[in-house]
């Protein structure tokens, strides 16, 4: 279905109209708020995106929780001044990130070339009770998207218990290699409250995927997992790390079609990031994208999003670009390691305190004050070499050094989504 058809469907959906009205009431008393700006905000969210209807909700952008949901409302109210919600939002002065990803285990049956969990296998992981307490705290901060990642989260026997501990103030997305995802398990995930799943699929070519994942069974796991998750009613994303030499329309379109044929509603493209095993490489320029690689990828994404025989395509390269929302590390997005350490992002191993020592709401605000506003470039690509050197390779970096690097890399210029609303 194209965007126009979905917009027409939304226009006649009573739940959509009710939620639009609720959102309007939350924002209307802010002196900076106008109806035109409200429309601009929606336009900014939708720009370059393919709209997707899934069950009774709509995915405007994977950066935001689906609409209309309680999680969407939670995202709006995650500021400290109810009368100035709109102003706080457009200056990114939040009291919580939009998404918090939790590394619920470092254990994994694979050994991917770009994995950031590879160096943390020996950490003492949080217990089930500690995770459940943390989930409650995160929801009380109004965090609308909770990601469960790893390692391989499907290794945890208590994964269903963790999901059941999260109420509808947040949507949950689970990131998996597809390991062990039978149809029965997918149904259990769905009935435990899972909204979305990101399943690793790096290429249409089985050999490439298995080589990236260092596992000969990974490709078959992934395709079965896509089918099983989709059949169970979970919003299903094929998550793919596209290497520099694979940014090619023909092979990407093959990947998009393969994912679609196997049930994916979306293909989410990540680019290689200077993290994990890559930090040990002396020259990573053969692996990292250039500006032209990114432009080429975004053009392929937008072309694919106009077609009806492919799923929604999203990419970090576009969503986190200067032209859209920018880099969310420590502002729109954050990450908690298996041992409870707060990081600005999954890919930025800077230590900002442990959830076992201080409330997460305090730790996050302190980190956010050091990081500042969303950045116009990927923070990981910009600082990770420095982080690796300053830590002598023993990650994560100590807090005092982390603060020092953050202060030197604060951004002054907002990404375009914000600039347009500030005018
Ligand atoms: S540091 Fe890079 S990967 Fe992390 S949020 Fe920013 S743009 Fe995304």
**pLDDT per residue over 129-141, tens digit each?**
999 999 999 999 9
- This prediction has a pTM of 0.95
Give residue ranges with CB within 6 A of ligand 1: 273, 316, 320, 327-329, 333, 345, 347-348, 378-380
- 61 or 201: whose pLDDT is higher? 201
* Substitution candidate for ligand 1 out of 271, 319, 327, 406 with most atoms within 8 A of CB: 327
Lowest mean pLDDT among 10-19, 259-268, 278-287, 351-360: 278-287
pLDDT at 112: 67
What distance in Å separates the CA atoms of residue 136 and residue 148, rounded to the nearest whole number?
Answer: 14
Lowest mean pLDDT among 167-171, 250-254, 286-290: 286-290
pLDDT at 82: 84
pLDDT at 285: 82
Residues 35-55: what's their mean pLDDT?
93
pLDDT digits (tens, 9 = 90+) for 277-335: 777 777 788 889 999 999 999 999 999 999 999 999 999 999 999 999 999 999 999 99
What distance in Å separates the CA atoms of residue 350 and residue 138, rounded to the nearest whole number?
Answer: 20
Q: Atom 2, ligand 1: which residue's CA is nearest?
A: 378
Q: Cα(333) to centroid of ligand 1, in Å? A: 8
Average pLDDT, the chain: 93
- CA-to-CA separations, 330 to 35, 94, 164, 388, 390, in angstroms, rounded: 30, 10, 27, 19, 20
What distance in Å separates the CA atoms of residue 76 and residue 416, rounded to the nearest whole number?
Answer: 19
Measure the N-to-C terminal CA separation of the chain; round to a whole number of Å: 34
pLDDT at 113: 60
pLDDT at 378: 95
Structure tokens at 175: 């990131």
């Amino acid at each position: 279905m194209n965007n126009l058809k979905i917009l027409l469907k939304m226009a006649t959906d009573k739940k959509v109209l009710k939620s639009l009205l609720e959102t309007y009431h939350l924002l209307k008393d802010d002196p900076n708020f106008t109806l035109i700006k409200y429309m601009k905000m929606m336009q900014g969210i939708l720009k370059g995106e393919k709209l997707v209807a899934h069950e009774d909700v709509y995915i405007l952008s994977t950066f935001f929780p689906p609409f209309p949901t309680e999680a969407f409302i939670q995202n709006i109210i995650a500021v400290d001044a109810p009368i100035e919600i709109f102003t706080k939002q457009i200056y990114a002065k939040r009291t919580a990130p939009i998404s918090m990803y939790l590394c619920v285990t470092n254990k994994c049956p694979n050994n991917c070339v770009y994995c950031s969990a590879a160096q943390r296998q020996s950490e003492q992981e949080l217990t089930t009770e500690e995770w459940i307490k943390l989930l409650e705290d995160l929801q009380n901060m109004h965090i609308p998207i909770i990601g469960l990642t790893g390692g391989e989260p499907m290794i945890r026997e208590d994964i269903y218990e963790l999901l059941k501990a999260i109420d509808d103030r947040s949507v949950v997305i689970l990131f998996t290699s597809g390991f062990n995802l039978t149809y029965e398990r997918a149904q259990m995930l769905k009935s435990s409250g899972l909204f979305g799943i990101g399943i690793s699929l790096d290429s249409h070519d089985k050999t490439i995927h298995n080589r990236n994942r260092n596992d000969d069974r990974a490709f078959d796991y992934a395709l079965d997992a896509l089918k099983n998750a989709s059949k169970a009613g979970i919003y299903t994303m094929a998550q793919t790390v596209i290497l520099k030499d694979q940014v090619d329309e023909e092979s990407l379109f093959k990947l998009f079609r393969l994912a679609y044929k196997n049930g994916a509603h979306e293909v989410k493209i990540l680019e290689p990031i200077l993290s994990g095993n890559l930090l040990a490489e002396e020259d990573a320029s053969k692996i990292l994208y250039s500006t032209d690689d990114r432009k080429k990828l975004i053009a392929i994404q937008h072309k694919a999003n106009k077609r009806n025989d492919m799923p929604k395509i999203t990419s970090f390269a576009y969503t986190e670009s200067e032209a859209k929302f920018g880099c969310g590390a420590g502002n729109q997005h954050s990450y908690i390691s298996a041992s409870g350490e707060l990081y600005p992002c999954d890919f930025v191993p800077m230590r900002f305190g442990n959830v076992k020592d201080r409330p997460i709401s305090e730790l996050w605000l302190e980190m956010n004050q050091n990081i500042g506003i969303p950045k116009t470039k990927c923070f990981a690509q910009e600082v990770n070499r420095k982080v690796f050197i300053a830590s002598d390779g023993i990650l994560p970096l100590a807090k005092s050094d982390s603060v020092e690097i953050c202060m030197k890399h604060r951004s002054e210029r907002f990404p375009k989504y914000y600039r347009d609303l500030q005018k």
